[in-house]
Structure 1
């Protein structure tokens, strides 16, 4: 069943939000990476090289899995370390 996931990313003083549809949480991380590639002009200080690095880290499973936040349902935290800084991401599975 396809679910809607909302990604709220903090990066270098900016907050960026996007939504993706996926069958599962881990699939949504891949879908999110593809989506930020499409929205690259909306994200300050992230260029094509960084997006490709993010996609590579995800595809090679070189990032930690999202962590379910204690006491919450359907809310996770994820950090991705890139050459230019850390992406701090909250993920919320939205009930449709």
Structure 2
């Protein structure tokens, strides 16, 4: 298992969490399922939206940087912009 760090920009804050996975896709699914991200304005409904949207999301590798990706998820609460770094 690899560890990935998720740096999420949402509304007025930057939120950092970690999740594990065998690859970036599995880590994204695991990140989406973290029940207590404590992101202001993300309630139960938005959490479910994130979990559903993440299954369709394909992260974009950042050119010139190894093991770094970007993706976005739109919810009723707003747009989450997420940078992911393979940490270990």
Report whether the alignment pairs 1:48 with 2:41. Answer: no
Large movers: runs of 4+ above 3 Å: none
Partner in structure 2 of residue 4 of structure 1:
3
Of structures 1 and 2, the larger Rg is shown by: 1
Q: TM-score, normalised by structure 1?
A: 0.86
The offset of 1:94, in angstroms, is: 0.9
**RMSD between aligned residues:** 1.0
Please state whether the residue corresponding to 2:33 is helix, strand or coil. helix
Name the structure where helix makes up a greater proportion of residues: 1
Runs of at least 5 residues in structure 2 that lack an aligned partner in the other structure: none
Runs of at least 5 residues in structure 1 that lack an aligned partner in the other structure: none
Please state whether the residue corresponding to 2:63 is helix, strand or coil. coil
Q: TM-score, normalised by structure 2?
A: 0.93
